[in-house]
Amino acid sequence: MVEETDSRPVAGVLWMLVTGLCFVAVTALVKLVGTRVPAAEAAFLRYVLGLVFLIPMLRPLFRSGMTRRQLGLFSLRGVLHTAGVILWFFAMARLPVAEVTSMNFLAPIYVTIGAALFLGEKLALRRILGVVTALIGALIILRPGFRELNPGHLAMLFTAVFFAGGYLLAKILSDEVSPLVVVGMLSISVTIGLAPAAWLVWVPPTVTELAIFFTVACFATVGHYAMTLAFAAAPVTVTQPVSFLQLIWSVLIGWLMFEEQPDIWVIVGGLLIVFAISFITWREAVLKRRQITPLVGQTKL
């Protein structure tokens, strides 16, 4: 975590604003493509077209000297992230933008649970209350029994689980290898994992669709880079609240671009999840703990 004396809060806030806008642009572009391109193929095109950004990472990858254990963890992370990405693309084509954004906020909550189960983190009462609050928020968004749920909702629930698992593995690996290696190996392993799934459902993409998916890769890369700059500029307690503006952006884009009427219950549920993550993150900072709860975006594609 950045020390208080080195903190540049205005810069951190601005970079996190850029991050949020980039990630919402990714969501909107994928929504724009719709369901013509199958989810596995759409995800594969996003990753394979984004490999151009991997070129600067090739030298550190070749020189990293990874152990068999590290390669195994990277492979497992690739499997989890591949599944999560396919499900995310599937859900994005079928759900309103605001619902996908709100339900994606669940990933940090799953990280908190996973850290307690697999990393030995203590699940204190305040964390339990935060998790319960977030799950209530998810129930408010889904409202089972009060409205019809479609496969996209189920897909998003599992998307957050898979992304959380991938994040926990990244946390372990980031203590052993450089961040460039962590990012590069994710891109390579997910592209390889998506290839056979895409081949099974392949539909020839149009030039326009290829251009859109390349733009998705650009926005995703810029978003992650801006998020890294935000981390370097200011503490997580400053940047985390800004990242939740994604919920506002997604409601506006869904309304203006796709004529999706704002759903008050989705907004209320999303805000409850936002409150829970913010509370857990704030407590980690107060207690000077090593950050486990990720910022929104660290678990994105």
Q: Of 6 and 245, which is predicted with more confidence?
A: 245
Q: Which of 220, 194, 207 is nearest to 45 (CA)?
A: 194
pLDDT > 70 in the chain, percent: 89
Task: Note the pLDDT of residue 214.
Answer: 94
Span 18-32, average pLDDT? 87
Task: Note the pLDDT of residue 206.
Answer: 94
Domain assignment present for residue 296? The answer is no
Domain assignment present for residue 194? The answer is yes
Span 101-129, average pLDDT? 80
- CB count, 10 Å around CB of 5? 5
Domain assignment present for residue 300? The answer is no
Q: Give the pair of three-digit tokens for residue 220.
A: 């995703």
Average pLDDT, the chain: 82
Cβ(4)–Cβ(279) under 8 Å?
Answer: no
Enter the pTM of the model: 0.83
Domain assignment present for residue 257? The answer is yes
Task: Note the pLDDT of residue 176.
Answer: 82
Q: What pLDDT digit, counting tens, does each position of 188-243 carry? A: 899 999 999 999 999 999 999 999 999 999 998 888 788 778 867 777 667 767 77
Q: What pLDDT digit, counting tens, does each position of 59-102 carry? A: 777 777 788 898 899 899 999 999 999 999 999 888 888 888 88
pLDDT band for position 249 (cuts 50, 70, 90): confident
What's the structural domain count of the chain? 1
Q: Of 230 and 179, which is predicted with more confidence?
A: 230
pLDDT band for position 274 (cuts 50, 70, 90): confident
Name the H helices within the chain: 9-33, 39-49, 58-62, 68-92, 97-104, 106-118, 125-142, 151-174, 179-200, 207-233, 236-243, 246-258, 264-286
Domain assignment present for residue 299? The answer is no
Domain assignment present for residue 293? The answer is no
Q: Give the pair of three-digit tokens for residue 221.
A: 């890369």
pLDDT band for position 183 (cuts 50, 70, 90): confident
Q: Of 60 and 24, which is predicted with more confidence?
A: 24
Task: Note the pLDDT of residue 301.
Answer: 59
Domain assignment present for residue 297? The answer is no
Question: What range defines the domain where residue 9 resides?
Answer: 4-286
Domain assignment present for residue 9? The answer is yes
Residue 145 predicted with pLDDT over 90? no
pLDDT > 90 in the chain, percent: 19
Lowest mean pLDDT among 29-38, 136-145, 156-165, 212-221: 136-145
